[in-house]
Amino acid sequence: MVQRQLPKVNELLELMRFKKPELDARKRRLDAALTIADLRTIAKRRTPKAAFDYTDGAAEGEFSLGRARRAFEDVEFHPDILRPAADVDTSCEILGAPSALPFGIAPTGFTRLMQTEGETAGASAAAAAGIPFTLSTLGTTSIEDVKAANPVGRNWFQLYVMRQREISYGLVERAARAGFDTLMFTVDTPIAGARLRDKRNGFSIPPQLTVGTIVNAIPRPWWWIDFLTTPKLEFASLSTTGGTVGELLNAAMDPTIGYDDLDIIRGMWPGKIVVKGVQNVQDAARLVDLGVDGIVLSNHGGRQLDRAPIPFHLLPKVVREVGKDATVMVDTGIMNGADIVASVALGATFTLIGRAYLYGLMAGGRQGVDRTIAILRSEIERTMTLLGVSSLAELEPRHVTQLTRLVPVGGQGQDARV
Ligand SMILES: Cc1cc2nc3c(=O)[nH]c(=O)nc-3n(C[C@H](O)[C@H](O)[C@H](O)COP(=O)(O)O)c2cc1C
């Protein structure tokens, strides 16, 4: 028999815990996002389809990106037990200076298209979090304005060596003058990848108004108000070089770049130099032998060659070849702090986030980028604590097994079976 009683008011009152309503709509929206995927959902709701798809999409069948994300999902962690790790230290040293977290913001072109605060939001959020920010050659905020947004923290500059070499050399000089500490030379864009979503959406840079874009704009008035009432969207660091946006974009992709260009740029650049877009063990070894300061294993977030090697799978092979002392970074597919912890365990010195940053930006400007960093930080700290490690240096390959859904069965692909 269940014993019953009259409800007691004081017991009822104990259960009532009404929270003060959050009046700041942006904060309310962002606080409700618990994962990067939640930020992506908000971003999709708030951003015109063509701009969202430009960010979210990848090349051809988008297999590279899907596989890279799956590779991170397929991580199995191996925790140690009864190893006190009350205070977790997530800081590391990267390219001669500290970073509070083992990731930085990757270079992304046309960032103010996603949300008008663009690179300023990224650079100032990175400054507040104590992590590096990378400005793209095709950025929509100039080198000098990024420096103003992040005057004390670390700024890196991503270089496309353009058909007209002098344009790129001019950018290298400006970035050096502005005190950027690292130059990231991207080498995986001999031509533009085929972004089919962009073609289907009739997407163009700069954006053009069509019946479709106008209809799509109706539920997203704030993006359009921002777009129409803030400075013109352009490749800000290139605005003085002449040429339309389309011509500049075209000039940024050059199939003739080679090791000679790397030599020339190294001669011009006073700081650290990193090559981004490395996709096999031999190239990694060659670059490290040549004495570059770091390499980024990346397939450009799946936006260039589709069915490219999965950078996270390449990582242990490259680290085995070039040794633990070389600076090996990895990107493509990072959606969770656990992805970053797994990368560090397998020997990555550092990681970069592209879309995770842009989803936050689209979801809520600067505060949205802060939210991205906060989510990743708490996931990193939680994963480390659950693994029983208190510093990044304690992470080792034995903490991770890479489960494979995709097992190579043949072909001549050089690294697949190393
Ligand atoms: C919208 C967008 C624009 C990008 N623009 C550039 C660029 O201008 N230069 C570059 O080196 N990489 C560019 N990337 C690639 C990123 O630097 C990075 O390699 C990639 O986003 C990592 O994958 P993730 O988005 O899954 O984190 C871009 C990526 C995205 C999503």
Interval 80-100 mean pLDDT: 93
pLDDT band at 249 (very low <50, low <70, confident <90, very high): confident
Pocket test for ligand 1, best of 233, 238, 297, 303 (most atoms within 8 A of CB): 303
Nearest CA to ligand 1 atom 8: 109
% the chain with pLDDT above 70 = 97
pLDDT of residue 407: 66
Above 90 in pLDDT, residue 232? no
Interval 209-213 mean pLDDT: 79
169 is in an annotated binding site: no
| Ligand 1 atom at minimum distance from 296 CA | 19
Above 70 in pLDDT, residue 329? yes
% the chain with pLDDT above 90 = 77
pLDDT band at 211 (very low <50, low <70, confident <90, very high): confident
pLDDT of residue 188: 95
Nearest CA to ligand 1 atom 11: 186
Interval 202-218 mean pLDDT: 80
399 is in an annotated binding site: no
Interval 336-363 mean pLDDT: 98
Q: What is the 3-state secondary structure (H, E, C) of the chain?
A: CCCCCCCCHHHHHHHCCCCCCCCCHHHHHHHCCCCHHHHHHHHHHHCCHHHHHHHHCCCCCCHHHHHHHHHHHCEEECCCCCCCCCCCECCEEECCEEECCCEEECCCCCHHHHCCCHHHHHHHHHHHHCCCEEECCCCCCCHHHHHHHCCCCCEEEEECCCCCHHHHHHHHHHHHHCCCCEEEEECCCCCCCCCHHHHHHCCCCCCCCCHHHHHHHCCCHHHHHHHHHCCCCCCHHHCCCCCCHHHHHHHHCCCCCCHHHHHHHHHHCCCEEEEEEECCHHHHHHHHHHCCCEEEECCHHHCCCCCCCCHHHHHHHHHHHHCCCCCEEECCCCCCHHHHHHHHHCCCCEEEECHHHHHHHHHHHHHHHHHHHHHHHHHHHHHHHHHCCCEHHHCCHHHEEECCCCCCCCCCCCCCCC
Interval 231-237 mean pLDDT: 88
| Ligand 1 atom at minimum distance from 114 CA | 1
Pocket test for ligand 1, best of 70, 136, 141, 300 (most atoms within 8 A of CB): 300
Interval 51-61 mean pLDDT: 97
pLDDT of residue 112: 96
| Per-residue pLDDT tens over the stretch 1-51 | 899 988 888 888 888 777 788 899 999 999 999 999 999 999 999 999 999
Nearest CA to ligand 1 atom 30: 108
Domains of the chain: 36-403 (3.20.20.70)
Active site residue 300: yes
pLDDT of residue 418: 46
Which residues lie with the beta carbon below 6 Å from any ligand 1 atom?
55, 106-109, 136, 138, 158, 186, 276, 298, 300-301, 303, 331-334, 353-356
Nearest CA to ligand 1 atom 13: 108
Of 230-234, 322-326, 365-369, which has the strongest mean pLDDT? 365-369
| Per-residue pLDDT tens over the stretch 266-295 | 999 999 999 999 999 999 999 999 999 999
Q: How far is the CA of 414 from the centre of ligand 1 (A)?
A: 26
| Per-residue pLDDT tens over the stretch 113-139 | 999 999 999 999 999 999 999 999 999
Interval 307-316 mean pLDDT: 97
109 is in an annotated binding site: yes
